[in-house]
Amino acid sequence: MKTTQTLKIACLLCVIVLQAVTSGGQTVAKVAAGSDHSLFLKSDGSLWAMGNNNFGQLGDGTADNDNYNTNFPEQIVASNVTAIAAGGYHSLFLKSDGSLWAMGNNNFGQLGDGTTDNDNYNTNFPEQIVASNVTAIAAGVFHSLFLKSDGSLWAMGNNNFGQLGDGTTDNGNYNTNLPEQIVASNVTAIAAGRFHSLFLKSDGSLWAMGYNASGQLGDGTYNQTNRPKQIVASNITAIAAGWTHSLFLKSDGSLWAMGYNGYGQLGDGTTDNDNYQTNLPEEIVATNVTAIAAGYDHSLFLKSDGSLWAMGDNDDGELGDGTYNQATLPEQIVATNVTAIAGGSDHSLFLKSDGSLWAMGDNEWGQLGDGTYNTTNWPEQILPVYNQISGQLSGQLLGTGDMQLSFMGIAGANYALDRSFSLAPPNWVPQLTNPTDAGGVLVFTNTPDPTTNNFWRIRSVP
User: Using one digit for the tens of pLDDT, what is the confidence trace for 48-57?
Assistant: 999 999 999 9
| pLDDT greater at residue 116 or residue 81 | 81
From CA 312, how far away is CA 316, in angstroms rounded?
A: 11
CATH number for the domain formed by residue range(s) 27-383: 2.130.10.30
Question: What pLDDT is attached to residue 3?
Answer: 31
Span 249-269, pLDDT tens digits: 999 999 999 999 999 999 999
Q: Where are the domains of the chain?
A: 2-22+393-461, 27-383
Sheet holding 37-42, edge to edge: 28-33, 37-42, 47-51, 70-77
Averaged pLDDT of the chain: 84
Span 333-379, pLDDT tens digits: 999 999 999 999 999 999 999 888 999 999 999 999 988 899 999 99
- Residue 300, CA atoms < 13 Å, CB-side half-sphere: 32
Question: What pLDDT is attached to residue 284?
Answer: 98
From CA 64, how far away is CA 326, in angstroms rounded?
A: 36
What band does 296 get if pLDDT is binned at 50, 70 and 90? very high
What band does 9 get if pLDDT is binned at 50, 70 and 90? very low
From CA 140, how far away is CA 180, in angstroms rounded?
A: 16
Widest CA span of the chain, in angstroms?
77
pTM: 0.81
From CA 132, how far away is CA 382, in angstroms rounded?
A: 33
Range from 49-58, 114-123, 160-169 that averages highest in pLDDT: 49-58
What band does 20 get if pLDDT is binned at 50, 70 and 90? very low
Burial class (CB in 10 A: 0-12, 13-18, 19+), 301: buried
pLDDT at position 236 over 90: yes
Q: What is the CA radius of gyration of the chain?
A: 23
In the predicted model, what is the mean pLDDT of residues 120-145?
94
Question: What pLDDT is attached to residue 451?
Answer: 57
Distances (CA, A) of 71 to 37, 295, 366, 382: 10, 20, 4, 11
Give strand pairing partners of 247: 240, 257
